[in-house]
Amino acid sequence: MKVHGKDYRAVWMERRDVMVIDQTLLPHRFKLLRLGNHRETARVIAAMIVRGAGTIGATAGYGMAQAVFEAPARGFDTYVEQACQRLLRTRPTAVDLKHAVDRVRAVAMEKDRGAAVAEAERIADEYVVRARRIGEVGLPLIRSGSRVLTHCNAGWLALVDWGSATAPIYLAHRKGRKVFVWVDETRPRNQGANLTSWELLNEGVPHKIIADNAGGFYMQHGEVDLCIVGADRIAANGDTANKIGTYQKAVLARENGIPFYVAAPTSTIDWKCQTGADIPIEERDEDEVRFISGVNARNRIECIRLTPPGAHAANPGFDVTPAKFITGIITEKGIVKSGKLRSLR
């Protein structure tokens, strides 16, 4: 996707460095970070400087390739295994992270550095191809005049390029179809207000940010034609973990007769999870709820506390939407009914 007229991916590798866009500074600053070793790469994943299931996967794959370069000849296996565990601990819900780490680990054990980098590159490239394909598969769902509601950021920042939920929207827009997007702000990290809106502005897609509480209002008043969200892990029965708040929107969509789609590459399906109850849900720091950052009148980024001093907060990162509320899952292989996911196996 283009930023200031130049093509970017959300993550890439330059020699032994991993390059990422610092997503915590968007939309206020566009800053690239150069990460010199796998520890730094693990740190930016945990701190959500890079985030979004596919981008986390690609970044972790590159982090594993870095570990292969760093590993000493004696104790190579132990070093790579420790790096693997360090990367796996960063974000427990997004299963793409595990897929990527496992793939590069398998190659790494042959002690071939070039092969480890090539595997990491392959993982990132596959996301781009699959995301573009999700766009083509989902395109018929978007008619001229469609008003789409999305939650969090399942855009190109979250899936290396194109995005999952956004890919059909970007494609429809580029083909000249009139499409409008309702963007949930997505408290507490505001990925919708900060990232999805920034992406849509770059692409020229008309949209409005709404408070997380407002989606039901617009659904009830006939102003949402369909919902498309991303996924962090999909269980074999179609239950889907995505950013906290997704479940509410799916229930409201059902109540109002609005189709609710999940868009995700097949790498996000975890066949080992039979149902959503098997998906681990990440609990994040309470300060993400208690504090908020933005720019002040002098255009300086500031972080301020919203809550009374001493008040505690709970902060689950994701929730599970039961398959019965999901109209279909848009994958690179086609749109499948959530209950029929096993047909993709």
342/331 Cα distance (integer angstroms) = 13
187/93 Cα distance (integer angstroms) = 18
Q: Is 298 exposed, middle or buried (0-12, 13-18, 19+ CB in 10 A)?
A: exposed
What are the phi and psi torsion angles at 245 (to 5°)?
105, -15
Q: Is 113 helix (H, G, I), strand (E, B) or coil?
A: helix
Q: Which is nearer to ligand MRU, 53 or 269 (CB)?
A: 53
Q: Which is nearer to ligand MRU, 146 or 191 (CB)?
A: 191
Which one from 96, 232, 270, 319 is the annotated catalytic residue? 232
Q: Which is nearer to ligand MRU, 154 or 224 (CB)?
A: 154
- Nearest residue to 264 (alpha-carbon basis) of 170, 138, 176: 138
Least distance from ligand MRU to the Cβ atom of residue 194, Å:
10
Order of strands, sheet of 328-331, starting from the edge strand that comes earlier in the sequence: 207-210, 179-184, 146-150, 226-229, 260-263, 328-331, 334-336
For 260, other C-beta atoms within 10 Å of its C-beta total 22
Cα angle: 83, vertex 84, 90; to 5 degrees: 90
Q: Is 75 helix (H, G, I), strand (E, B) or coil?
A: coil
| Unique residue bearing structure tokens 């849509």 | 200
Least distance from ligand MRU to the Cβ atom of residue 209, Å:
16
Q: Which is nearer to ligand MRU, 242 or 331 (CB)?
A: 242
Residue 14 forms beta bridges with which residues? 17
Q: What is the dihedral of CA 211, 213, 218, 219, to 10 degrees?
A: 140
What tokens were used for 293?
């950052």
Q: Is 254 helix (H, G, I), strand (E, B) or coil?
A: helix
Least distance from ligand MRU to the Cβ atom of residue 50, Å:
9
Q: Are 163 and 131 in contact (CB under 8 A)?
A: yes
Q: What is the dihedral of CA 275, 280, 281, 283, to 10 degrees?
A: 170
Least distance from ligand MRU to the Cβ atom of residue 94, Å:
6
- 232 among known catalytic residues: yes
Q: Which helix (H) or strand (E) holds 136?
A: helix 113-138
Q: Catalog residues that contact ligand MRU under the rule CB under 6 A.
A: 51-54, 152, 154, 158-159, 163-164, 191, 230-232, 242-243, 317
User: Chain centroid to CA 310: how far?
Assistant: 32
Residue nearest to ligand MRU (CB): 230
Least distance from ligand MRU to the Cβ atom of residue 156, Å:
9
Least distance from ligand MRU to the Cβ atom of residue 179, Å:
18
Q: Which is nearer to ligand MRU, 146 or 190 (CB)?
A: 190
Least distance from ligand MRU to the Cβ atom of residue 113, Å:
29
What are the phi and psi torsion angles at 71 (to 5°)?
-65, 135
Catalytically active residues, by annotation: 232
